[in-house]
Structures are given as structure tokens and as C-alpha cells.
Amino acid sequence: MTQWNIQNIVIDLQQARNEWRAQQKNLKVFGGRELPSKEEIKKILNDLCGILFPMRLGPHDLRQQSENFYIAHTLEKTLYALLEQVKLNLSYDAKYKKQHEDLVEISEIAQNIVTEFAQKLPELRRLLDTDVIAAYHGDPAARSVDEVLLCYPGIMAIIYHRIAHEFYKKDLSLLARLIAEISHSKTGIDIHPGAEIDEGFFIDHGTGVVIGETCIIGKNVRIYQAVTLGAKRFEVDGEGRLQKEYARHPIVEDNVVIYAGATILGRITIGQGAVIGGNVWITQSVPANSAVSQSSATKSKV
């Protein structure tokens, strides 16, 4: 017998797991074990950053003359690693939905998804270039586009988001969400992978920003720290449960600026060119080119 009475604790823990597993039956949960791995995904993301911006986010000793060698080799390796994670996500989904898990089919689907993703990389790079430019133009403190790429959490967040969104569109929600949370943990910026974000997007400072699943964001939108683009209230079904997957977050049109701490809730539209002041609370649509600020009553008193 050990000092800690390990055996008993192990049995008690097993009992707790058994209770959970029994209870989860009607929650469509299963006892499977293969899940995408956060550690693997982190490595894949690092490599994808290097592939997209080799001379800035690639290995420190890379030379421009050999960018293509580096990219070709890393891309090949990374796509295989990604294929593995995509398969794990698909297997998980099949088990979760209690479907028959057809390994050959899963393998084919995964292959297609990864192939499409790979072909999209040049387009992603071009899109991200618009974000870098937007950040450089949008922040008076930015000294160069390189400073933006190396230092700005908002840039990291949009790189990770644009990758995550590709997998979200393929219904790989677990993989997409894992990417989003890796980014959230590093940057304090929480963008749901479902959000649709057009070119030239810039988040400055970023800590505390929350962008919901069904947001649609236009071109050249600029956002500051602690901005929430959230749901106003949650629809509840007949049994009192939250309804999932309906449009519940704002539409933000082109050229909108939203200052720090603003809270914008519900499926409303912020019209193009609008400027939303700091700390305001908005639950109704805002016309194009208007400016919203706190009412005078909210001015502080000395």
C-alpha cells in the first residue's frame, strides 16, 4: 500500500468518470480517444506563418535566395501534419454524431480539404498583406511594416483567424476553434473562427476584443481593445435550451472604426464609414457615415 492510498483515489476517480459518461449519453458524447492535438496544431501554425511570411516569421537563419527551398520542404511536411489533424477532427465528428466511421471516406475528404487549403495559401498571403498595410497606416506609433508584422498582436490574431476560418468553412469546428483559442491565449483577442472578415482589417492593442461567430466585417475596418461584437440575447428553444447556429452578431460595413471598449450587440448593421466612440453600448443599427459617442450624461463629474 502506498503512502497516499493511490489505489482508492484511482477507483474513486474512475467512479466519477463512469458517472459522467453515463450521464453524457443523451448529450451525444462517446468514449473515443482521438482528438486533434493542441501541441501539433501549434507547430503547424508556426510553420504556416513561416510559409506565408518566410523572411519575417520563418526561421531566423533563412536567406531570401532560398525562400522557395524552405517553403517547398516545410509546406510538404506541414500539409501531411495538417492532414493528420483534419482526419482526427473528421473521425471525432463521425463518432460524435454516432455515424459509421468510414476510414477510407474520411481519408478522401481530408485529402480534399487539405489540398484546397494549400491552394488557397497564396490568396491568404495577399489578404494578409492588406491587413499589414492597414495596421501600418492605422497606428501612428508604427515605425515600419516589419514592426507591424513582428510585434503586433492584432496581426497575429488575423493571421490565425484567416487560417482558422478556412477550416470552419469546411465544418472542422474543433480544429478551427483550437486555432482560435491558441491565438486568444497569446493575444487576448477572441475571434470566433466563424466570423467573416474582409481585407484590410486592423485591431490595435487588442486585449479583450471579442468577435462573435456570425459577425460579418467589411473592408478596412479598424477596431481597438476591449471592443465586443456580440450577441444581444440568446434564443431559447421549447425546452429552454439555447439555440445554436443562427445569425446573432453584428454586420460591420466597410471603413468603420470602433474605439476601445465599445459594445455592439445583436444582428444589427453598423453602416459603412461609421465611427463608433469608446465605451458606447449599441444594440440598434447605425446609419452609414454617422458618428456615435457617449451621450453628455455619461460625462464624468469631478
Residues 233-272 that bind a copy of itself (CB under 8 A): 234-235, 241-245, 248, 260-261, 263, 265
Residues 24-63 that bind a copy of itself (CB under 8 A): 24, 27-29, 31, 33, 35, 37-39, 51-52, 54-56, 60-63
3-state secondary structure of 216: strand
Task: Measure the CA dihedral 128/130/135/140, to 10°.
Answer: 150
In the bound state with a copy of itself, the residue whose beta carbon lies nearer, of 62 and 198, is: 62
Count how many Cα atoms sit within 13 Å of the Cα of residue 28 in the half-sphere of its side chain: 8
In the bound state with a copy of itself, the residue whose beta carbon lies nearer, of 109 and 142, is: 142
Residues touching a copy of itself: how many (CB under 8 A)? Answer: 138
Interface with a copy of itself includes 80 (CB under 8 A)? yes
Only one of the segments 42-50, 101-109, 157-165, 222-230 lies at the binding site for a copy of itself (rule: CB under 8 A); that segment is 222-230
Which residue from 174, 176, 127, 195 is spatially nearest to 155, judged by alpha carbons? 127
Residue with cell 473515443: 32
Q: What are phi and psi of 200, to 5 degrees?
A: 70, 40
Tell me how far, at minimum, the Cβ of 100 lies from a copy of itself, in Å: 18
Q: What contacts 195, CB < 8 A, 6 or more positions away?
A: 161, 165, 211, 212, 213, 214, 215, 216, 217, 229, 249
Residues 95-134 that bind a copy of itself (CB under 8 A): 96, 111, 114-115, 118-119, 121-122, 125-126, 129
